Amino acid sequence: MSITHYMSLLADNQPWNLIIFMAIPVIMAETLTITEFFIVFNRLKSGGIRTLNKIVGIFDGFYFTGIFIYLFMNAVLPLTQSGGWHTWVDVVAVGFYLSGVLFLLPIALMELGILFRGKTDEEKMKIHFILVSGFLVVAHVAMIFGMVNPEIVGSMSNMKM
């Protein structure tokens, strides 16, 4: 069975790639999600849960931005230039994974007071919730497409066996 570059990345250099590219960003996003529910349902504006949410949001936003830059330069550009993608399924998996930066970086910038400065606390809470939700959606789409065998949608003559 052939695999996508997404799954290949996670399977290579065990366990480090799995920890660096999957475990850390996803555990942080899950922590954001859980604390987000407490914040939204209890309308928390301060306290330990809000502080944890803020720290995790800043960390995960910048951490994932680093992943985005690294993988874009070392995987996306070379694969695109060499025509090494394993069908459109591979592009979807990697593309959706990397699109997580569009949701996590704004969270970090919002927590640092760089983005959405003119918004009320209520508006910021809604934006934060939407961004966290958006990341979860793209991460899950990436995981689903990343697990698909690319051979089922086309020929993979470029792939080494």
Q: Note whether residue 69 is domain-resident.
A: yes
Q: Note whether residue 156 is domain-resident.
A: no
- Count of domains observed in the chain: 1
Mind listing the pLDDT tens digit of every residue in the chain (161 residues)? 688 888 888 888 889 999 999 999 989 999 999 999 999 899 888 999 999 999 999 999 999 999 999 999 999 999 999 998 888 999 999 999 999 999 999 999 999 999 999 999 889 999 999 999 999 999 999 999 999 888 887 654 555 54
pTM: 0.87
State residue 65's pLDDT score.
97
Q: Note whether residue 83 is domain-resident.
A: yes
Q: Note whether residue 19 is domain-resident.
A: yes
Q: Note whether residue 155 is domain-resident.
A: no
Q: Note whether residue 140 is domain-resident.
A: yes
Q: Note whether residue 158 is domain-resident.
A: no
DSSP string, the chain: ----HHHHHHHTTTTHHHIIIIIHHHHHHHHHHHHHHHHHHHT--SSHHHHHHHHHHHHHHHHHHHHHHHHIIIIIHHHHHHT---HHHHHHHHHHHHTTHHHHHHHHHHHTTSS-TTS-HHHHHHHHHHHHHHHHHHHHHHHHHHTS-GGGTS--TT---
Q: Note whether residue 54 is domain-resident.
A: yes
Q: Which structural domain range is residue 47 located in? A: 5-150
